[in-house]
Structure 1
Amino acid sequence: MTDPLTLLKQLIQTPSLSRQENSAADLIEQHLRDNDITPHRYLNNVWTTSRHWRDDQPTILLNSHHDTVKPAAGYTRDPHHAEVIDGKLYGLGSNDAGGALVSLITAFIALENDPNLNCNLVLAATAEEEISGPNGIAALLPLLPPIDAAIVGEPTLLDLAVAERGLVVLDGETMGQSGHAARKEGTNALYLAIEDITAIRSHTFSRSSELLGPTSATVTVIQSGTQHNVVPDRCTFVVDLRVNEAYTNEEAVAELQSVCKHSQLTPRSLRLQSSAITEAHPLVVASRGARPTARLYGSPTLSDQALLPFPTLKLGPGDSARSHTADEYIHVHEIAEAVAMYTQLLKNL
């Protein structure tokens, strides 16, 4: 059996940008075969089920991703050269989310044929997580057996992310009437948009959250006008809307639209919903038993949790603050600790 550190080194040395993950998927497939497990493949998603399967037991999905972002500009080392220095394994994808992925794979291999396990296991190493793409976990879900709950492997310092913000990108459009700037003719769409942008900036969403705080909206892009002497008749802007678990995306969009007097807000997508799991859920209880020092928190960053329609717990080795940074790394001891925690919490269920 290949140890998780060796597998992670192999993945680091196998470029796997989003939509270009085929070689990493091949590697994971072969790793499972080498451990006497039959993998399934759909696009660049690799999945399998535990051999000791009982229909009367709940089914737990173990999911993490093997795609990466592009290397940051500030890298001082080869991002695909896996190297351990002073207990740190450097390389693109080591922290996000290779450490979690190889730890989940190792725990699955150790437990999938255990007759004493009180749950069925489904392992899914998926693609396109970094771009929330259609050919990742969303494409794979219809092929999987019914799932009761999931562990989503992401860097959380092995703390328990029991809630996660949703995301909606909104395109705002404000219409006016063109005219000559010198004669102050027309209706300036830019001025109208500024009124609504000011309202968006000052708006406080009514439903807060102890875990995630308030839902927030930030205007990040604006475009208007064609030349200096023409009053613009159209202004467009973009809103980044981060939604707590007290709202559906649809509800948050409707509340924000209500404060805009002149602009129409159109969501690009509503599928990246917020999520939350209760402290009393068996996954959370089992995780706290496996690691009593783990804290519960709400995660501001997006993951494949947003696409999963059942209770999910985000949990894994590494630190989210290291994700997408130059000279990305994970501590070697974090991987060993993650394998132990995943294994124990699944036994605790």
Structure 2
Amino acid sequence: MSQIENLTEKAISLLKQLIETPSFSGKEQHTADCIAAWLDAAGIPFKRSKNNIYVFNADYDPEKPNLLLNSHHDTVRPNDAYTRDPFKATISEGKLFGLGSNDAGGCLVSLLACFAYWYPKKDLSHNLIMVASAEEENSGPNGLNSMLKILPEIDVAIVGEPTLLELAIAEKGLVIFDGTVKGTPSHAAHPNPNNAIYNSIEVLKWFRDYEFPKVSEVLGPVKMTVTQISAGTQHNVVPAKVDLVVDVRVNDCYSNKEIAEILKREAPCELKVRSLRLNSSSIDREHPLVQAGIGMGKGTYGSPTLSDQAALSCPSLKLGPGDSTRSHSADEFIYLEEIQQGVRLYIAMLEKFLHPKEN
């Protein structure tokens, strides 16, 4: 058995452990223990900050630039449509089933195998830093964003998320707004020309039809969606207001701050922004890391989904085994072959990137 095959086998074994160890966001201490034990067995010294596990390559040189490898080990809660035990790792027809198998356990263990392969190597162009992070699914305060205060400056990153092993060179940001449509409260039996619920009809149409003028070549247009609406307490009372939640997926033509300024100025209702920190992410298609993947026949695209890339200010590439459409679905799974391919791809891309003079 080759070294890469051996590492892949150990990675799949770890993934089975992770599946069978509940790790909802903020409660990942036991999966952090599993990852720590895996690294310890591999002879790789690690550090821990809350439920984040992080490691540096053996030949770390503070004078060199830093490449971050990152994926998360927290999961969402299983939905009611599961027909299998979400916490039981089972294999059937080449598929490994279980909660977190696809999002993002397969990516995480593949990156760990890749890091273990490169850990002892010398004379690399970049240092390698691996972070198995917590609280990605809820964008919590104790995830990758908290690690950036601890780690040295990151120059470029690979974020492991399921991309069918294609190169996501950009990712949309996210801004959530709480909106309020006001009216006049009254008894339902009396005339009321200022009914907040009726007023909300035109407001909803405005959000549905509004288009931001700047369209990204990679990420397309900004996408704005009203995702929640609530009003009223009883059948015979016209409420004073209607509450809305608006989800805005931001392309790389705008900062989140610009989106907030535009909507506060133009939207036909009151808006309050929850956070501006989840900005869009990107990496130049000509970046050597991207070119390494393109040279191996991989295509590029823009991702509509959010990840830990949003915490990073450096160029970052989203890449990993698995399919994003399986994430958060019932009976989640990943193909074992996808993990095998993921380990090989990560290692081969870094072979090209970490030894630029030899390629």
Shorter-chain TM-score bucket reads over 0.9
Structure 1 partner of 2:172? 165
3-state SS in 2 of match to 1:170:
strand
Q: Aligned pairs, how many?
A: 346
3-state SS in 2 of match to 1:95:
helix
- Spell out, residue by residue over 1:292-332, the C-alpha distance to the aligned partner (whole angstroms, 9 max, x if none): 1x110111111111111111100000111111112211111
Q: Does 1:307 align with 2:311?
A: yes
Moved more, 250-259 or 48-57: 250-259
Matches within 5 A, 1:87-126: 87-126=94-133
Which of these residues, 317, 320, 325, is aligned with residue 316 of structure 1? 320
Residue 66 to residue 184, structure 1, CA distance change in 2 (3 Å):
same
CA distance in 2, matches of 1:230, 1:336: 61
Matches within 5 A, 1:214-233: 214-233=221-240
CA distance in 1, matches of 2:109, 2:90: 17
Structure 2 partner of 1:13? 20
Q: Does 1:189 align with 2:196?
A: yes
Q: Does 1:274 align with 2:277?
A: no
Which of these residues, 161, 169, 177, is aligned with residue 184 of structure 2? 177
Residue 227 to residue 92, structure 1, CA distance change in 2 (3 Å):
closer
Unaligned runs of 5+ in 1: none
CA distance in 1, matches of 2:228, 2:15: 38
Structure 2 partner of 1:71? 78
CA distance in 2, matches of 1:226, 1:70: 30
> Residue type of the partner of 2:311?
L
- Spell out, residue by residue over 1:150-169, the C-alpha distance to the aligned partner (whole angstroms, 9 max, x if none): 10001001000111111111
3-state SS in 1 of match to 2:314:
coil
3-state SS in 1 of match to 2:258:
helix
Q: Does 1:60 align with 2:72?
A: no
Q: Does 1:131 align with 2:120?
A: no
Residue 226 to residue 70, structure 1, CA distance change in 2 (3 Å):
closer
CA distance in 2, matches of 1:117, 1:84: 37
CA distance in 2, matches of 1:176, 1:324: 38
1:148 Cα deviation from its structure 2 partner: 0.2
CA distance in 2, matches of 1:226, 1:69: 31
CA RMSD, Structure 1 to Structure 2 (Å): 1.7
Structure 2 partner of 1:147? 154
CA distance in 2, matches of 1:77, 1:193: 42
Structure 2 partner of 1:332? 336
1:16 Cα deviation from its structure 2 partner: 1.3
CA distance in 1, matches of 2:347, 2:231: 55
1:183 Cα deviation from its structure 2 partner: 4.5
- Spell out, residue by residue over 1:11-51, the C-alpha distance to the aligned partner (whole angstroms, 9 max, x if none): 11212111111110001111111111111111100001111
Q: Does 1:48 align with 2:55?
A: yes
> Residue type of the partner of 1:104?
L
Moved more, 333-342 or 182-191: 182-191
> Does the CA contact (< 8 Å) of 1:159 and 1:295 recur in 2?
yes
Residue 182 to residue 317, structure 1, CA distance change in 2 (3 Å):
same
The alignment-based identity, stated in percent, is 50
> Does the CA contact (< 8 Å) of 1:60 and 1:120 recur in 2?
yes
> Does the CA contact (< 8 Å) of 1:71 and 1:324 recur in 2?
yes
Structure 2 partner of 1:4? 11
- Spell out, residue by residue over 1:87-124, the C-alpha distance to the aligned partner (whole angstroms, 9 max, x if none): 11111111111111011111111112211421100000
Residue 225 to residue 345, structure 1, CA distance change in 2 (3 Å):
same
Residue 187 to residue 58, structure 1, CA distance change in 2 (3 Å):
same
Structure 1 partner of 2:254? 247
Matches within 5 A, 1:251-262: 251-261=258-268
CA distance in 1, matches of 2:181, 2:94: 54
CA distance in 2, matches of 1:310, 1:110: 24
> Does the CA contact (< 8 Å) of 1:186 and 1:231 recur in 2?
no
Residue 99 to residue 228, structure 1, CA distance change in 2 (3 Å):
closer
CA distance in 1, matches of 2:250, 2:330: 29
> Does the CA contact (< 8 Å) of 1:117 and 1:346 recur in 2?
no
- Spell out, residue by residue over 1:256-288, the C-alpha distance to the aligned partner (whole angstroms, 9 max, x if none): 233323x11111111111111110112211222
1:345 Cα deviation from its structure 2 partner: 1.2
> Residue type of the partner of 2:16?
K
1:230 Cα deviation from its structure 2 partner: 4.4
CA distance in 2, matches of 1:227, 1:93: 41
CA distance in 2, matches of 1:16, 1:183: 53
CA distance in 2, matches of 1:339, 1:222: 44
CA distance in 2, matches of 1:219, 1:326: 25
Moved more, 217-226 or 182-191: 182-191
